[in-house]
Structure 1
Amino acid sequence: MELEKLSTEEEDTEMMVNGHHMNDSNAEKMIFNDGYEAAESTMAESAEFLPHKSGSKQIQFTDFEGKTSIGMSVFNLSNAIMGSGILGLAYAMSNTGIVLFVFLLICIATLSAYSIHLLLKSAGFVGIRAYEQLGHKAFGQPGKIIAAVIISVHNIGAMSSYLYIIKYELPLVIQAFLQLHESNGMWYMNGNYLIIIVSIFIILPLALMRQLGYLGYTSGFSLTCMVFFLIALIYKRFQIPCPLPIYGNESHHNDHTFSSNGKNHTIEEECTAKLFTVNPQTAYTIPILAFAFVCHPEVLPIYTELRSPTKKRMQRVANISIAGMFTMYLITAVFGYLTFYGNVETELLHTFNRVNPLDTLLLCVRLAVLVAVTLTVPVVLFPIRRAIQQLLFPGKAFHWLRHIAIAFTLLICVNLLVILVPNIRDIFGIIGATTAPTLIFMLPGLFYVRIVPNDKEPLKSRPKIQAICFATLGFIFMIMSLSFIFLEWTRSDGRSHIGGH
C-alpha cells in the first residue's frame, strides 16, 4: 500500500511538473490567442452590425475594402451635394423671407441626414453597400431594377444640367475675357464644341479613375472654387447699391419711386429685407431645397471606399458634409438676397449681368463656378456606372475595358442630349420632381422597413413607424412638386422655376 501510495504521489508530482512546463510553454500562445480574440471582438463591435442568427459571427461587407480617408470622403460627398441649385437659393429666399427660408433649410438638412442614417442602417443589417442591391434585398429583382433606373435617370439629368451651364456660360466668359462686344462666330464661341472639348479633356480622364476616392482632390478644389464664389458674393454685397443700377445707365434714382419689372415701387419697399413672405412662388421653395441636398446615390459608393468602414464613421462623413453645405447654402442665399432683394433672378449669376457683365471679379466668379460644375460631373457619373454594372454585369469582376466603355458611352449620350435638345427645362423638372423625393425619402424609408427583421424591430416600433412616415412624406413631396409643375404649365406666361440638383 505504501509503495502504491508513493507511486501515485510520484505520478501526481510528475503530472504537476509536466503541466507546469506545458503551461509555461503555452503561456505566450494563450495570451496571444486571448489578445487576438479580444481584438477581433472589439473590431466586430466597432463595425456596428448586428450578429447573424446562426452564430456570433458578424455580417461583414464583402464587396470592397476601402482606403479613402474621412477627409477625402467629406470632399466627395460635399461635392455631390453641391449642385447647380445653389445659384437659385437667393431667389427662393426672396419668395419666403429670411426666417421661413432658414427654418425650411434646417428641416430639409435634418431630413437628409436622417435619410442617410436609414440607408446606412439598412446596409449594416445585410452587409451590402450598393443602392441597387438594397433594392434587390427589399423587393427582389423589381426593386433592384427600379433603384438602378431612378439613380441613372436622376444623375443623367444632373450631368446634363451641369453641361448646360458649361454650354451657355463658358462662351460668355470667353467673350468677356477677350473684350468682345458680341460673338465673332469662331468655333471657340460655340457652346456645343466647348462641352465636347471639356468632356474629352477634363471630365473623361477623371471619370476613368478606378475608385471614387481618388476624386477627393478634385472635389476639394471644386469646393475651394465655391468658397471663392461666396467670398466674392459677400464683397459685392457691400459694393452694389440698392436700388439696382442698370448697366450703361449710371443715373441714380432721385425720386422716391421707380419702375422695376413693370411695377412702381418705393425705394424703401425695394431695398428692405422681408423676414416672412408668402406668394405664388413660395410653394417652389421646398422642392428647390430638397433637390439641393440630393446626394444619396453617391452615399453608398463613398461608404464602400471609406477606410475602416463603420456606420458611425460614414454618418460622421454625412453630417460634416451636410453641415458644410448647409452653411454654404445659407451664406449664398442671405448675401444674394440682401444684394438684390426682390430683383434677384432664378439664377444668381444672371442677376449680376444686369450690373456689369464685364466686371473682372464677376468674370472670375463665373469661371470658378464653371470649374466647380465641371469637376462635379465625374463624381455624379460613378453611381450611374455602378448601377449599370449591377444590372447588366452582376457579379462580374472589375475589367478596365468595361469600366472605360460605360463612362465613354454615358458621356456621348449626355453630350448628344445637351447638343440636340435646345430646352429640356420641363423634362428636368419632371425628372427632378419624381427622382429626388424617391431617392431622399421614399426608397430609404421603404428599404429600412423591409430589410430590418421584425424580430429586431417590430413593424409597430417607433423606428419603423418613423421610416413609414418618412416615405409617406416623400410621396407627398413628389405629388406636390408635380402639381406645381403642371399648374405652371397651364399659365400662359409661366415658366418652371424648380431647379434641379
Structure 2
Amino acid sequence: MSINRNATAYLCSEGVAGDIEGNEVTPLLTHRSAPTTGASFASSVFNLMNAIMGSGILGLAYAMANTGILGFCILLVLVSILAAYSIHLLLKLCDQTGINSYEDLGGRALQKPGKILVGISIIIQNIGAMSSYLFILKSELPAAIDSFLNPESTGHAWYEDGRLLLVLVTLCVVLPLAMLPKIGFLGYTSSIAFFFMLYFTIVVVVKKWSIPCPLSHNVTTLSGAFKISNSSDSECTPKLFVISSKSGYTIPTMAFSFMCHTAILPIYCELDRPTKARMQNITNIGISLSFLLYLISALFGYLTFYAHVDSELLLGYDAYMPRDIMVMVVRLAILLSVLLTVPLIHFPARKAAILLLFGGRPFSWLIHIFVTLIIVGVVLLLAVVVPDIRNVFGVVGSTTSTCLLFVFPGIFYLKLNTGPLRSFDSLGAILLVIVGFIMGIISFSIIVITWAQNS
C-alpha cells in the first residue's frame, strides 16, 4: 500500500531516525505536539549548492578545452537536466514509499544487495570527493599563505609543508564540523561557501582581459635556467568542438560536479515543512545557479588559457600573475569554500557506513564519533598520497558518480513504480539507465587506455 504525498514529512515529524528502519538522520520534529523548526528554504538551497559545487568547478575549464565550447555546453546541459530529473524520480519514490533514505530505496528495490550496493557507492563517491577537496588544500594552501606572508620565501618555512597544513586544518576545522549530528547546522557555512564560489567566478571573468594571448611566461628548466615559453597565435582561437583522448575525462568531471544525490534525502528530511514540491524547487534553484556559475567560470577560464588550461584552473594563474592580489584572495576563498564543503559531503558517507556496519540501531554518540574518525582518517590518508586530482575526477566520476546520478535512480523507479511502463517517467528512467551505462563504460575505458599508454 503506497503512502500519501506527505509521508516523508510525517516520518520525519514522528522522530523516525532517517527512515522507517531507524537509520541515522536527525528528525525535524521530536514530537508532533512539540514541533521545532527545521532547516529553512534558503539554508537548504545553500546546503544543496555546497554539496553540488566544490573542487569540480576547478576542472571544468580543462573539460571545455578538451571538448570545445559547443561540445562542452551540450554535455553540461545534458548532465544538469539528467541530474535534476533523477532527483525528481528519487523524490517521487520517497512520496510513494515513505522511505527517505537512498540506501533503503535500494533495499526496497533490490533487497539487501541493493542496499549494500548503494551504501558502498555512497561511501566511495563521498570519500573520493572529500579526498579531492583535501588534495586541493594540500597543493594550494601553502602557496596561498606564502603569497600573503612571505614574498621572498626560500621554501623552508613550516607553513609551506602542504601535508602538515592539511593535518592541522583537518583536525581544527573539518573534524569539528564533521562531528555535527544535523546537516541543517551546516547551512550557515554553506552560504559562505556559495559566495566564495561566486567571487571565484567573477575573478575568472575579470582576469580574462589581464592575461593576453599568445601566452608568454617564464618557466624554470631542470638546470635552474629560465626560458620564455610562448604559445602561437593559432592557439588563441577558441575551438567549438574538440575530440581527443583527454575528452574521456569530461563526462566524469561533469558527473562529479553535479553529484549531490547522496545529500538530497538528508536535506529533504531536515527541511522545514518537507514536501516534494518544496524540495523540487530547492533542487531546481540549486542546480540552475550551479549550472550558471559552472558555465561562466569554465568559459572564461578556457578563453584565458585556451589549450593551456590546467586540470586545476587556479594553477594557470600562478604562472602568469603569481603576485596578483585578486588571484591571491580568490585562491584563499576557494580553499575556504572547499574546506567548508568537506563536512557536508562527510554526512551521507557516515550515514551509509553506520547503516552498513551497525544496521538500524538508534543514534549513538560512540558510534557516531567512531565512524567519523575512521572516515576522516581514510580521506586524509588518500589526500596525502593521491598524485593528481584529475585521476580522482576520472575514476570516481565514471563509476560511482554515474551510478548514483543516473543508473540507480532509474533502476529503483522502474522496480518500485506501480504505473504503466510507457509513462513519461518510466521512459525517462529507462533513458537514465541507458545514458548512465554508456557514459560510465566509455569514460572509464578511455581513462584506462590513457593510463596504459602513459605508463
Shorter-normalised TM-score: what interval? 0.7 to 0.9
Which residue does 2:143 correspond to in 1? 172
Which residue does 1:303 correspond to in 2? 268
CA contact (8 A) 2:201 2:296 kept: yes
After superposition, the C-alpha distances for 1:96-152 in whole angstroms (9 at most, x for unaligned) are: 322222222111111100010111111111101111111111111111111100000
Confirm or deny that 1:192 pairs with 2:154: no
CA contact (8 A) 1:87 1:348 kept: yes
Judged with a 3 Å threshold, the aligned counterparts in structure 2 of structure 1 residues 183 and 405 are, in CA distance, closer, same or farther, namely farther
Structure-1 separation of matches of 2:306 and 2:386: 33
The Cα RMSD (Å) is 2.4
CA contact (8 A) 1:183 1:189 kept: no
Q: State the SS of the aligned residue for 2:110.
A: helix
Judged with a 3 Å threshold, the aligned counterparts in structure 2 of structure 1 residues 343 and 61 are, in CA distance, closer, same or farther, namely closer
Structure-1 separation of matches of 2:357 and 2:5: 35
TM-score between both structures, scaled by the size of structure 1: 0.79
Deviation at 1:175, TM superposition (A): 2.0
Deviation at 1:248, TM superposition (A): 8.3
Structure-1 separation of matches of 2:391 and 2:304: 29
After superposition, the C-alpha distances for 1:182-241 in whole angstroms (9 at most, x for unaligned) are: 554333221121111111111111112121011001000011111111111121112222
Q: State the SS of the aligned residue for 2:453.
A: coil
* Amino acid aligned to 2:404: L
Judged with a 3 Å threshold, the aligned counterparts in structure 2 of structure 1 residues 419 and 287 are, in CA distance, closer, same or farther, namely closer
Choose which of 107, 112, 123 in structure 1 pairs with 2:94: 123
Judged with a 3 Å threshold, the aligned counterparts in structure 2 of structure 1 residues 80 and 183 are, in CA distance, closer, same or farther, namely farther
* Amino acid aligned to 2:400: T
Judged with a 3 Å threshold, the aligned counterparts in structure 2 of structure 1 residues 492 and 398 are, in CA distance, closer, same or farther, namely closer
Which residue does 1:3 correspond to in 2? none
Choose which of 178, 198, 215 in structure 2 pairs with 1:207: 178
Confirm or deny that 1:136 pairs with 2:107: yes
Deviation at 1:404, TM superposition (A): 2.1
Structure-2 separation of matches of 1:46 and 1:339: 49
Which residue does 1:341 correspond to in 2? 306
Which residue does 2:196 correspond to in 1? 225
Which residue does 2:14 correspond to in 1? none
After superposition, the C-alpha distances for 1:389-430 in whole angstroms (9 at most, x for unaligned) are: 222233322222322222122112222233355568646633
Structure-1 separation of matches of 2:98 and 2:376: 32
Deviation at 1:65, TM superposition (A): 2.8
Deviation at 1:311, TM superposition (A): 0.9
Which residue does 1:458 correspond to in 2? 420
* Amino acid aligned to 1:47: N
Which residue does 1:366 correspond to in 2? 331
Give aligned pairs, total: 424
Judged with a 3 Å threshold, the aligned counterparts in structure 2 of structure 1 residues 417 and 101 are, in CA distance, closer, same or farther, namely closer
CA contact (8 A) 2:203 2:326 kept: yes
CA contact (8 A) 2:302 2:309 kept: yes
CA contact (8 A) 2:219 2:229 kept: no
After superposition, the C-alpha distances for 1:9-46 in whole angstroms (9 at most, x for unaligned) are: xxxxxxxxxxxxxxxxxxxxxxxxxxxxxxxxxxx976
Q: State the SS of the aligned residue for 1:357.
A: coil
Confirm or deny that 1:391 pairs with 2:356: yes
* Amino acid aligned to 2:281: R
* Amino acid aligned to 1:108: V
* Amino acid aligned to 1:126: T
Choose which of 294, 311, 314 in structure 1 pairs with 2:259: 294
Which residue does 1:470 correspond to in 2? 432
Judged with a 3 Å threshold, the aligned counterparts in structure 2 of structure 1 residues 345 and 486 are, in CA distance, closer, same or farther, namely same
Structure-2 separation of matches of 1:158 and 1:377: 8
Structure-2 separation of matches of 1:421 and 1:488: 18
CA contact (8 A) 2:256 2:393 kept: no
CA contact (8 A) 2:253 2:393 kept: no
Choose which of 68, 86, 98 in structure 2 pairs with 1:97: 68
Q: State the SS of the aligned residue for 1:246.
A: strand
Choose which of 145, 152, 171 in structure 1 pairs with 2:123: 152
TM-score between both structures, scaled by the size of structure 2: 0.87
* Amino acid aligned to 2:6: A
Deviation at 1:459, TM superposition (A): 3.3
Judged with a 3 Å threshold, the aligned counterparts in structure 2 of structure 1 residues 183 and 304 are, in CA distance, closer, same or farther, namely farther
After superposition, the C-alpha distances for 1:436-484 in whole angstroms (9 at most, x for unaligned) are: 110011100011111122xxx1334443232123112111111111111
* Amino acid aligned to 2:451: W
CA contact (8 A) 2:19 2:104 kept: no
Choose which of 428, 449, 452 in structure 2 pairs with 1:487: 449
Counterpart mapping for 1:250-265 below 5 A: 260=230, 265=232
Q: State the SS of the aligned residue for 2:216.
A: coil
Deviation at 1:306, TM superposition (A): 0.9
Deviation at 1:279, TM superposition (A): 3.8
Structure-1 separation of matches of 2:104 and 2:154: 50
Structure-2 separation of matches of 1:472 and 1:132: 21
Query: Percent identical across equivalent pairs?
Result: 46
CA contact (8 A) 1:162 1:373 kept: yes
Deviation at 1:353, TM superposition (A): 1.2
CA contact (8 A) 1:48 1:311 kept: no
Choose which of 65, 90, 97 in structure 1 pairs with 2:28: 65
Structure-2 separation of matches of 1:68 and 1:434: 32
Deviation at 1:273, TM superposition (A): 2.4
Which residue does 1:53 correspond to in 2? none
Structure-1 separation of matches of 2:295 and 2:396: 26
Deviation at 1:363, TM superposition (A): 1.0
Choose which of 225, 237, 247 in structure 2 pairs with 1:282: 247
Q: State the SS of the aligned residue for 1:354.
A: helix
Structure-1 separation of matches of 2:248 and 2:184: 38
Structure-2 separation of matches of 1:259 and 1:354: 11
* Amino acid aligned to 2:127: I
CA contact (8 A) 1:247 1:356 kept: no
Structure-2 separation of matches of 1:418 and 1:153: 14
Gaps in structure 1 of 5+ consecutive residues: 1-43, 50-59, 250-257, 494-501
Structure-2 separation of matches of 1:458 and 1:479: 29
Judged with a 3 Å threshold, the aligned counterparts in structure 2 of structure 1 residues 426 and 328 are, in CA distance, closer, same or farther, namely closer
Judged with a 3 Å threshold, the aligned counterparts in structure 2 of structure 1 residues 125 and 236 are, in CA distance, closer, same or farther, namely same
Judged with a 3 Å threshold, the aligned counterparts in structure 2 of structure 1 residues 117 and 281 are, in CA distance, closer, same or farther, namely same
